[in-house]
Amino acid sequence: MSEKSVGRGVALYLLASVIVVGLAGAVFAAIYSAPAERRTIAVSALVALVVQLVAFAFARLLADKGNAIAGWVLGAVVCFAALIVYGFVCRSLGLPPNAALLSLATFFFLTELIEPPFLTI
């Protein structure tokens, strides 16, 4: 695969992820009304996008070598590890844990669901 198509796939995945996370974040913001919870949801969205972009890059590298499933599993493991670490970080920073962990887990889940088609673009 050419570098141009890899860059296009990553850019399209990032755009789709931003849209999905933005929509889900709006739903969470409607549910959690406290300012601290809304800030926490925004932090979770940023963390999810960064972690997912890194995980997608690794998945894309493995997919280009014919191991798309291995790349997808690696991405899921990275997200799961990030969720665990985020739980400890949120607690130490005093962020509302319900809003933080539920939103991050949802963002990861949704972005994982949309990932497979972008591995082959």
Q: CB-based contacts of 14: which residues, under 8 Å, 6+ apart?
A: 49, 53
Report how far residue 30's alpha carbon sits from residue 52's, in angstroms, rounded to the nearest whole number.
Answer: 24
Q: Please return the burial class of 121, using the count of CB atoms within 10 Å of its CB with bins 0-12, 13-18 and 19+.
A: middle
Q: Is the pLDDT of residue 109 over 80?
A: yes
Give the residue with greater pLDDT, 88 vs 5. 88
- Dump pLDDT digits (tens) for 22-63: 999 999 999 998 999 999 999 999 999 999 999 998 888 888
Per-residue pLDDT, 5:
60
What is the structure's pLDDT at 1? 53
What pTM was computed for the model? Answer: 0.90
- Per-residue pLDDT band for 88 (boundaries 50, 70, 90) equals very high
Q: Which residues contact 31 (CB under 8 A, 6 or more apart)?
A: none
At 71 the pLDDT is 81
Residue 110: pLDDT over 60: yes
